[in-house]
Structure 1
Amino acid sequence: MTNYHELDEFKDVFLEDSFVIGIKESEVEISFGVELVLCENHPMHRPPKIGEQYCYQDADIIFGNVRHIEWLEKSNSGFTDANGSVDYGNIDIFQFSSKEYYLEGDWGRIRISSDPPIIRYLAVDF
């Protein structure tokens, strides 16, 4: 399997330190709401806010035209950080082969057959 960095849309993001803040699933798509770490080469990158290690940007990672979703493990346990917000950990592993994607983190393990994922960036917070 190939690492997510090989997907053009994901080459300038760092998922291992991004935070999953929600997962929405329907018959046609699954999306991961994330506080996404933008690498320095990303066109939206800006210096980290005071008290933050990285440049974070709210985004959704969307797998559209889903043909099959297989939850190998699922956890709804969240973590509460110092400012009171809840997240479900990181995306520790994101690999793919052909049109199948495998993701893993504290929130669970999942196999998805779909179109290539896209990142939808939400309002920029400067």
Structure 2
Amino acid sequence: MKDNYPSFPGFENVSLEDSYVLDIVVHPAVLILKLDVLLLSGHPEHRFPAPGERACFRQATVVFSSIRELHWTGQSVTTPAIDASGTADYGSVDSLTGADDSYKILGDWGEINLQSNTPSLSIDPPLPLDPNEPP
């Protein structure tokens, strides 16, 4: 199945394939992906890239709630990469597909198959607008 996450509410104009997974947290009935997400130019929170960045990245959280079933395979090979600033990440979300209440998420950290409500994506508090920045 082809990635269809851009059709999920709130996932428009983001690129999970070019984002970085900072953490994966599982609690009873909840899966949380903490991301440094790449926002595309059509996203309402998109800003010009910060100095030294190649694109607009923002801290974000993806939450799958009311999980009825979750299987995570391949997690034993998960080792974070450390970038030049010392920040650890687990690669990207290579694929996120969903149909009805079933979802499949793939990445260097393994494969997660789950049944839950539609995931939500929230961008951390917005950055102040720079009055010198073009719209």
TM-score range, shorter chain: over 0.9
| 1:101 aligns with one of 100, 103, 106 | 103
Secondary structure of 2:93's aligned partner: coil
Give the gaps of 5 or more residues in structure 1: none
C-alpha contact (below 8 Å) 1:57/1:125 kept by paired residues: no
Q: Distance in 2 between matches of 1:20 and 1:32?
A: 7
Identity within the alignment, %: 31
Farther off after superposition, 68-77 or 113-122: 68-77
Query: How many residues end up aligned between the 2 structures?
Result: 126
Deviation at 1:125, TM superposition (A): 4.4
Task: Write out the 4+ residue segments of structure 1 that deviate beyond 3 Å after TM superposition.
Answer: none
TM-score (normalizing by structure 1)? 0.94
The answer on 1:92 being equivalent to 2:106 is no
Q: Distance in 2 between matches of 1:125 and 1:84?
A: 23
Q: Deviations over 1:43-77 (max 9, x none)?
A: 00000111211101101100000001011221430
Q: Which structure's CA Rg is the greater one?
A: 2
Q: Distance in 1 between matches of 2:6 and 2:122?
A: 17
TM-score (normalizing by structure 2)? 0.88
Secondary structure of 1:51's aligned partner: coil
Q: Distance in 1 between matches of 2:127 and 2:59?
A: 9
Q: Deviations over 1:67-103 (max 9, x none)?
A: 0101122143000001111000000111111111101
Deviation at 1:7, TM superposition (A): 1.3
Higher strand share: 1
Question: Which residue in the other structure is 1:116 paired with?
Answer: 118
